Homo-oligomer: A and B are copies of this chain.
Amino acid sequence: MAGKPTPLSGFPELLPEQRIVEQQVVDTLRHTFELYGFGGIETRAVEPLDQLLRKGDTSKEVYLLRRLHEESAEGHAGMGLHFDLTVPFARYVLENAGKLEFPFRRHQIQKAWRGERPQEGRFREFTQADIDIVGRDALPFHHDVEVTRVMVDALTRLTFLPGFRLQVNNRKLIQGFYAGLGIDTGDEVMRLVDKLDKLPVEKVRELLVSEAGVDEATADRVLSLAEIRTADATEVARLVGDLGVDHPLLAEGVDELTRLLDGVADLVGDRVRVEADLSIARGLDYYTGTVFETRLAGYESLGSICSGGRYDSLASDGRTTYPGVGLSFGVSRVIVPLMARTGLAADRSVPSVVLVALTGEDSRPASDAVATALRSRDIPCEVAPSAAKFGKQIRTAERRGIPFVWFVQPDGTHQVKDIRDGNQVDADPAAWTPSAHDLRPTIVSTEPPTEEQHP
């Protein structure tokens, strides 16, 4: 390789001290998911093209594969890289249904690929963390509450990230409201209402009339519904009721949304809020009840960083239908912009808590023995690469952010120095232990967040 290679747009890579942040996010998510009985699975990176193209609007973003020396340029048996974890999961459920226990709870933390134009928070390669609960034939509503609780708990534990605002709505509520208004272009209306975060309300009102064919008074009532925002479960029914529309599906949707807000109320705190937001519709996705979006406080321009909902038919083999409910957290979408804007990273670039200094190459075995003793008690450490002057060895530790340097004295006794305050004390390799706080790298931001640009 000659010369320095350049990064590839849309394929973010992390430095070691940044990767520690990503690993801690993934570890925290996984730990939380497992506490709730969600086992981890992984699916292969490739899916048959006909599966990937089921949702017409993403087809342009799929990466096709072919082998270098393949005869045909048509791709490797019609295979492409998955663009999310839902399509592969639905296929996995069908393929293994006879070997799975339902309701099946799984988490899946993997990369996905989309050939779209890179921009902040939108990458061509990115990591997603999904949880879903899937039933066979039926899946009671309490699982919608369950999956929300799991994600709220997980986000609450990501204490080194900004706050989250989980926005919930319900497709039955929306569709019932539209049906109660006599609208027969409900899907089109929903698609237009979903543009409220990008277009001014006046423009959406115009489109409702011109494209969805509803009259102006009906358009106003559609927009009034979309204006409702409340974190108070008892308010939902009152605010919707004030709009004077009546329909059994609407009532069912209001009931579900109320139960969901009620069901997570004890978990909600300052860092993670949950609110009903009746403008949330999730565009063309095939949700049938609960829908979720999530905003990262101070990073609203990233759009939704954790989305999902209820699919009454996540997967079906023609005889059996598998309803599901789940959420997908955009790991890369959240952490890569934070790293760029605030310098978010670990306070060291290595796992080591201790650098064991080296007096001379001849005494390397003595330094190795200290490292072995520390490792036997799960304390990560490394031995200095060479017997340089102690000042240089201390700078080796400093540059890596390693807090402690260990010295084997000429008389065979030991001392350990905290190089942050210079404090040096006698220590026994079989007993000395760093504080729990020092044992693992700490996540820090080196710069104040830049101001969010509101377009």
Contacts and interface: CB of A to CB of B under 8 A. Distances in A.
A351 B34 contact: yes
A101 B68 contact: no
A94 B5 CA distance: 7
Interface string A1-16: 1111111100111111
Contact of A67 (B14, B38, B62, B351): B62
B40 A19 contact: yes
A387 B280 CA distance: 33
Contact of A350 (B37, B43, B91, B364): B37
B65 A81 contact: yes
Interface stretch (A168-176, A208-216, A375-383): A375-383
Interface string A360-390: 0000100000000001001111100110000
Contacts of A437: none
B113 A45 contact: yes
Interface in A13-42: 13-16, 19-20, 22-23, 34-42
A68 B59 contact: yes
A32 to B, nearest CB: 9
Contacts of A14: 41-42
B65 A106 contact: no
Nearest to A103: B385
A63 B44 CA distance: 14
Interface in A298-320: 315-318
Contacts of A399: 101
Specify how many copies of this chain sit in the oligomer.
2
Contact of A63 (B5, B7, B76): B76
Nearest to A46: B11
B91 A1 contact: yes
A351 B39 contact: yes
A317 B19 contact: no
A180 interface: no
Given A67-B62, A76-B63, A80-B68, A23 B40 contact: yes
A341 interface: no
A41 B23 CA distance: 9
Contact of A4 (B8, B60, B90, B94): B94
23 contacts: A1-B91, A1-B315, A4-B94, A4-B95, A6-B95, A8-B44, A12-B44, A13-B43, A13-B95, A14-B41, A14-B42, A19-B42, A22-B42, A23-B40, A35-B379, A37-B350, A45-B111, A62-B68, A63-B65, A64-B68, A100-B349, A101-B349, A101-B350
